[in-house]
Chains A and B, each alone.
Chain A
Amino acid sequence: MHRFANPARFMRLSEPALPWLATATALLLGVGLVLALFVAPPDYQQGESVRIMFIHVPSAWMAMCAYTSLAAASACALIWRHPLAEIAAEETAPLGATFTGLCLVSGSLWGQPMWGTWWAWDARMTSVLVLFFLYLGYMALSSAFDDPVRGRRAAAILALVGFVNVPIIKFSVDWWNTLHQPASVLRMGGPTIDPSLLWPLLVMGLAFTLLFATLLVVRMRAALIERKIRALEVTQLEAADSRVFG
């Protein structure tokens, strides 16, 4: 656990890994998009608009995956005072909020031609909207204190409390029979979706996961560098101070 708590080690390990991660993301995203937009057949009921699924479903997965990692990182930060986990959690939140927003917007665009409505107060959609507000609350809380450490710790507790929403989202379509379709990929007894659509979806899911990982590493590196710059500025100011006031 503590072997990886060292920010310098993280910078050293992530530097050579980042180009590989980025290349893999670009490759998979390219292959996935070609499969999703050109190779996959149009759905017999939904026609071409089924292709929104290849953005919508992976965003939804990542929205929940990002919240789960946010909660896990927060737990590590609270229990072991792990400095990297703290940064990881803080940098995960805007990414998760973006994926959640993408999921809500693409779902709305898909809902209009399919269900004839932009929005319905269905259990799945409402719980994802709550997830979006949880991300916003996390970010608002972590930036609401003059002491950034205190803000991050308070936000970490909020992330753990808000985690109750994730299983609610996952099982909302099974518990409440509403407009949103029930689970069709991750379910007991295997997926019910046709392989011609399932494979591009899985490739896109993996591509989104790698995209999340790449962006997270970039953001974490940027945050660490920013801290280093701030620390240098403070020492410079102190040096200037001591020259003036001796």
Chain B
Amino acid sequence: MSGFRALLLRDLRLAFRQGGDGLMAVIFFVLAALLFPFGLGPEPEALARDAVGIVWVMALLASLLALDRLFQGDWEDGTLDLMALSPLPLELAVLAKALAHWLLSGLPLLVAAPIVASMLQFDAASLPRLVLALALGTPTLSLLGAVGAALTLGARRAAVLVSLLVLPLEIPVLIFGVAAADPAGIGDGLTHVMVLGALLALALPLCPWAAAAALRQALE
């Protein structure tokens, strides 16, 4: 477990020393979400209706931002070879890197989402559920993203390719994430929150496994 912690802390430290790479995702999230009032018109009713969808789509796009760099640097300078040789299973190394990605891009979104949502006139009573849904959904996005990043390692135009591969797989998270917090949604939002939890529970073992398999192919 010490290898896992070391890897996680190393990734976080690298991100902080490089001067707020992690902050970029949040700034993108806030800025892009605030484009919608200009695009859709500033009527509070229309914005309130679309706020959940806007927040979720922006969260999806923001989590894509740093993905193509997730393994790229380590691959180029040979760190990835050392990780594969270390006693820490490659699956756990992937998990550590996905966790670092989530701490840098997903967690700040959780803080920014209520602010953005209230700027979009979102119903305050449903805010806790929106944050809960994001808390369960964004780690899944990071895990799926890690699979995409590992698959496209060394590919031409990897950054575009990652979005092409990962976005279709993220649609279920989007559907249930929006349904969980939508005040006008059908039925009880908590069922959808539970589905998000189930998706995370599925992604937690399967995604690191698939990503590690992809990394081994890249290292061969």
Indicate, yes or no, whether A interacts with B. Answer: yes
Contact surface of A with B, Cβ cutoff 8 Å:
78, 126, 130, 133-134, 136-137, 140-141, 144-146, 150-151, 153-154, 157-158, 160-162, 165, 168
Closest to B214 in A: A157
With A150-B218, A153-B217 already in contact, the answer to whether A144 and B210 are too (CB < 8 A) is no
- In the complex, what's the smallest C-beta–C-beta distance from A157 to chain B, in angstroms? 5
A141 and B210 contact, CB distance less than 8 A: no
- In the complex, what's the smallest C-beta–C-beta distance from A88 to chain B, in angstroms? 19
Closest to A134 in B: B168
List 27 A–B pairs whose Cβ atoms lie within 8 Å, in order of A's numbering: A78-B213, A130-B168, A133-B164, A133-B168, A134-B168, A136-B164, A137-B164, A137-B165, A137-B168, A140-B165, A141-B165, A144-B155, A144-B158, A145-B154, A146-B156, A150-B154, A150-B217, A151-B155, A154-B155, A154-B214, A154-B217, A157-B147, A157-B210, A157-B213, A158-B165, A161-B210, A168-B172
B157 within 8 A of A: yes
Chain A residues within an 8 Å CB radius of B213: 78, 157
Contact surface of B with A, Cβ cutoff 8 Å:
147, 151-152, 154-158, 161, 164-165, 167-169, 171-172, 206, 210, 213-214, 217-218, 220
A140 and B154 contact, CB distance less than 8 A: no
A140-B161, A141-B152, A154-B151 known, 15 other contacts, Cβ within 8 Å: A78-B213, A130-B168, A133-B164, A140-B164, A141-B161, A144-B161, A145-B154, A145-B155, A154-B152, A154-B214, A157-B151, A158-B165, A160-B210, A161-B147, A168-B172
- In the complex, what's the smallest C-beta–C-beta distance from A140 to chain B, in angstroms? 6
Chain A residues within an 8 Å CB radius of B164: 133, 136-137, 140
Closest to A155 in B: B151
Pairs of residues from A and B, 8 with the lowest C-beta to C-beta distance, nearest first: A144-B155, A133-B168, A153-B217, A137-B165, A154-B151, A130-B168, A157-B214, A137-B164
Closest to B155 in A: A144
A144 and B157 contact, CB distance less than 8 A: yes
For the complex, give the distance between the alpha carbons of A199 and B217 in Å: 47
B169 and A162 contact, CB distance less than 8 A: yes
A126 and B171 contact, CB distance less than 8 A: yes
For the complex, give the distance between the alpha carbons of A157 and B210 in Å: 7
- In the complex, what's the smallest C-beta–C-beta distance from A146 to chain B, in angstroms? 8
**Contacting A157 at CB < 8 Å: which of B156, B169, B217?**
B217
Closest to A127 in B: B171
Chain B residues within an 8 Å CB radius of A151: 155
- In the complex, what's the smallest C-beta–C-beta distance from A133 to chain B, in angstroms? 4
Chain B residues within an 8 Å CB radius of A162: 168-169
Chain B residues within an 8 Å CB radius of A154: 151-152, 155, 214, 217-218
Chain A residues within an 8 Å CB radius of B154: 145, 150
Chain B residues within an 8 Å CB radius of A157: 147, 151, 210, 213-214, 217
Chain A residues within an 8 Å CB radius of B167: 133
- In the complex, what's the smallest C-beta–C-beta distance from B149 to chain A, in angstroms? 11
Chain B residues within an 8 Å CB radius of A134: 168
Chain A residues within an 8 Å CB radius of B165: 137, 140-141, 158
Chain B residues within an 8 Å CB radius of A146: 156
A161 and B169 contact, CB distance less than 8 A: yes
For the complex, give the distance between the alpha carbons of A153 and B71 in Å: 18
Chain B residues within an 8 Å CB radius of A140: 161, 164-165
For the complex, give the distance between the alpha carbons of A137 and B152 in Å: 11
For the complex, give the distance between the alpha carbons of A157 and B152 in Å: 11
B171 and A145 contact, CB distance less than 8 A: no
For the complex, give the distance between the alpha carbons of A78 and B151 in Å: 14
- In the complex, what's the smallest C-beta–C-beta distance from B136 to chain A, in angstroms? 18
